């Protein structure tokens, strides 16, 4: 599905040092429970994020985001620690990119993190002091963590977005597939990077070094801090482009003309430009940096092969789907014990919804005749951001009064 306008990307710049410094010597890593050569499991696609079941310390199975861009597994709900027998070994305060504030996290050692038919022994984990990410509200499901990218060291990982299946393959038995395009990657701090060229809407080309980030729901995010390297497109929207540990991330949304990806070229892509972007010591100043996220990755079947330092890509049936950004202008979050209360938290000025009179604070009661108590946030977003020209009729609650509004989805960028 198209990204809903709010992307997630997670920046934990100092924690690699803390985690490795205090690691407890032991047998650490992921293995298959039996003698399998591969393990296949279904996943949920929530706003271009891959959500899979993870069991902590053999006690409770939770929903976690599979992330190639974050090194350490994160548990967002500290209140679960006692029940899960998670020991909080050390508390650290880390800076938040783009702000002067810090956030507190706890380091936990020697946790068991099990996936279906996969055992993770002696793993390190971060536990947030507060639920800074608020994944439940923005994804509309009880997602309570992020599975870090250590697992990519132990298996080749194949993701089939059309079948919603992720397959973990023993590295010793992995064979390169046929009819896939191969992209050489560098693995830096356990994150996959590749080099490419982008063409801006004015025809100018720029070299880029991009991280392939399963934990980002946008198409592409570029740093806008160095204007001499990358001028932001003249036609853009100043919006919240993502969420991180410090909350909302400001920036703008525009379009780039094309992007090369292996043997493929993607055209007319919505791109996010963050006002503050985390600099990487591995990237030289003359090369742009950024992340390639789920709105592009979901158009392919993709295989991560860290051992071979390569990514395999094969386009799927969504490859030619137009890139769109928030055709309604609405940002909706879910709340309540069953996550079936849907509140408008923002409405882009000049958007179809804003012109129709929708306001922040409105509660969605119905979407095109369907009562929202029978819908999920994912289903609502599929309707709100489906395709230009679609007619919408919303039933909303405002100050105790029920109001109906009608408008048509329109491309606003």
pLDDT at 28: 78
pLDDT at 18: 39
pTM here is 0.90
18-32, 155-169, 320-334: which range is least confident on average?
Answer: 18-32
- What percentage of residues in the chain have a pLDDT greater than 70? 88
pLDDT in tens, 398-409: 999 999 999 999
Residue 303 lies in a domain: no
Residue 118 lies in a domain: yes
What is the arithmetic mean of pLDDT over 342-350?
94
Instruction: Choose one of 251, 270, 296: the last residue of a domain.
Output: 296
- What percentage of residues in the chain have a pLDDT greater than 90? 67
pLDDT at 100: 64
pLDDT surpasses 70 at 23: no
Q: Are 66 and 53 in contact (CB under 8 A)?
A: no
Look up tokens 């996969």; give the residue: 118
146/231 same-domain check? no
Q: Are 271 and 220 in contact (CB under 8 A)?
A: yes
Task: State the pLDDT confidence band at 234, using cuts at 50, 70 and 90.
Answer: confident
Residue 373 lies in a domain: yes
14/116 same-domain check? yes
Residue 251 or 193, more confident = 193
Instruction: List the Cα angle 217/223/225 in 5-degree steps.
Output: 145
32/165 same-domain check? yes
Instruction: Give residues with Cβ within 8 angstroms of 120, minimum separation 6.
Output: 29, 30, 112, 113, 114, 151
pLDDT surpasses 80 at 96: no
25/165 same-domain check? yes
Residue 284 lies in a domain: yes
Instruction: Choose one of 146, 172, 198: the last residue of a domain.
Output: 172
pLDDT in tens, 132-151: 888 999 999 999 999 999 99
Number of domains, the chain:
3
Residue 314 lies in a domain: no
Task: State the pLDDT confidence band at 229, using cuts at 50, 70 and 90.
Answer: low
Q: What is the C-alpha radius of gyration for the chain, rounded to an integer number of angstroms?
A: 21
Instruction: Choose one of 144, 172, 200: the last residue of a domain.
Output: 172
pLDDT at 332: 95
Residue 309 lies in a domain: no
Nearest to 358 by CA among 347, 349, 367: 347
Average pLDDT, the chain: 87
88/160 same-domain check? yes
209/341 same-domain check? no
Q: Encoding tokens for residue 273?
A: 């430009």
Instruction: List the Cα angle 407/46/355 in 5-degree steps.
Output: 15
Cα separation values, 150 from 44, 141, 214, 248, Å: 21, 24, 13, 27
Q: Are 374 and 388 in contact (CB under 8 A)?
A: no
Phi first, then psi, for residue 377 (nearest 5°) are: -60, -35
Nearest to 88 by CA among 37, 129, 139: 129
pLDDT surpasses 90 at 289: no
Residue 325 lies in a domain: no
Residue 162 lies in a domain: yes
Q: Encoding tokens for residue 136?
A: 């439940």
pLDDT at 283: 38
What is the arithmetic mean of pLDDT over 185-191?
93
CATH number, domain with residue 258: 2.40.70.10
Beta bridge pairs of residue 128: 105
216/339 same-domain check? no
Side-chain half-sphere CA neighbours of 347 within 13 A = 16
d(CA 45, CA 172): 29
3-state secondary structure the chain: CCCCCCEECCCCCCHHHHHHHCCCCCCCEEEECCCCCEEEEECEEECCEEEEEEEECCCEEEEEEECCCCCCEEECCHHHHHHHCCCCCEEEEEECCCCCCEEEEEEEEEECEEECCEEEECEEEEEECCCCCCHHHHHCCCEEEEECHHHHHCEEEEEECCCCEEEEEEHHHCCCCCCCEEEECEEECCEEEEEEEEEECCCCEEEEEEEECCCCCCCEEEECCCCCCCCCCCCCEEEEEEEECCEEEEEEEEEEEEEEECCEEEEEEEEEEECCCCCCCCCCCCCEEEEECHHHHCCEEEEEECCCCEEEEEECCCCCCCCCCCCCCEEEEEECCCCCEEEEEEECCCCHHHHCCCCCCCEEEEECCEEHHHCCHHHHHHHHCCCCCCEEEEEEEECCEEEEEEEECCCCC
pLDDT surpasses 60 at 24: no
pLDDT at 359: 96
């Amino acid at each position: 599905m198209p990204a809903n306008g709010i992307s997630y990307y997670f920046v934990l710049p100092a924690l690699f040092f803390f985690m490795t410094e205090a690691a407890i010597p032991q047998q650490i890593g992921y293995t298959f429970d039996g003698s399998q050569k591969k393990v296949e499991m279904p996943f949920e696609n929530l706003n271009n994020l891959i959500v899979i079941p993870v069991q902590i310390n053999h006690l409770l199975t939770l929903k976690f985001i599979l992330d190639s861009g974050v090194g350490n597994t994160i548990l967002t709900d500290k209140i679960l620690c006692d029940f899960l027998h998670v020991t909080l070994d050390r508390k650290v305060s880390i800076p938040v990119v783009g702000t002067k504030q810090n956030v507190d996290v706890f380091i936990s050692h020697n946790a068991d993190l099990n996936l279906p038919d996969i055992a993770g022994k002696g793993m390190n984990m971060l536990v947030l002091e507060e639920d800074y990410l608020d994944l439940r509200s923005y994804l509309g499901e009880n997602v309570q963590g992020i599975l870090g990218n250590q697992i990519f060291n132990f298996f080749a990982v194949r993701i089939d977005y059309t079948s919603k299946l992720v397959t973990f393959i023993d590295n010793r038995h992995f064979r390169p597939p046929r009819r896939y395009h191969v992209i050489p990657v560098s693995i830096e701090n356990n994150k996959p990077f590749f080099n490419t060229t982008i063409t801006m809407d004015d025809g100018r080309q720029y070299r880029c070094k991009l991280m392939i980030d399963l934990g980002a729901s946008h198409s592409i995010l570029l740093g806008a801090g160095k204007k001499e390297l990358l001028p932001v497109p003249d036609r853009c929207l100043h919006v919240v482009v993502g969420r991180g540990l410090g909350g909302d991330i400001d920036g703008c949304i525009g379009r780039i003309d094309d992007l090369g990806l292996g043997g493929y070229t993607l055209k007319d892509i919505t791109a996010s430009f963050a006002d503050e972007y985390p600099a990487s010591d591995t990237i030289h100043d003359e090369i742009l940096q950024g992340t390639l996220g789920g709105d592009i990755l979901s158009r392919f079947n993709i295989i991560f092969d860290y051992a071979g330092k390569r990514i395999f890509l094969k386009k799927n049936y969504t490859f030619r789907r137009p890139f769109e950004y928030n055709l309604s202008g609405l940002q909706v979050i879910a709340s309540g014990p069953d996550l079936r209360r849907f509140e408008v938290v923002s409405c882009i000025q000049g958007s179809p919804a804003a012109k129709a009179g929708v306001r922040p604070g409105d509660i969605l009661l119905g979407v095109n005749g369907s009562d929202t108590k029978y819908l999920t946030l994912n289903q609502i977003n599929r309707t709100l951001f489906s395709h230009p020209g679609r007619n919408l009729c919303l039933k909303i609650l405002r100050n105790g009064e029920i109001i109906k509004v009608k408008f048509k989805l329109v491309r606003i960028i």
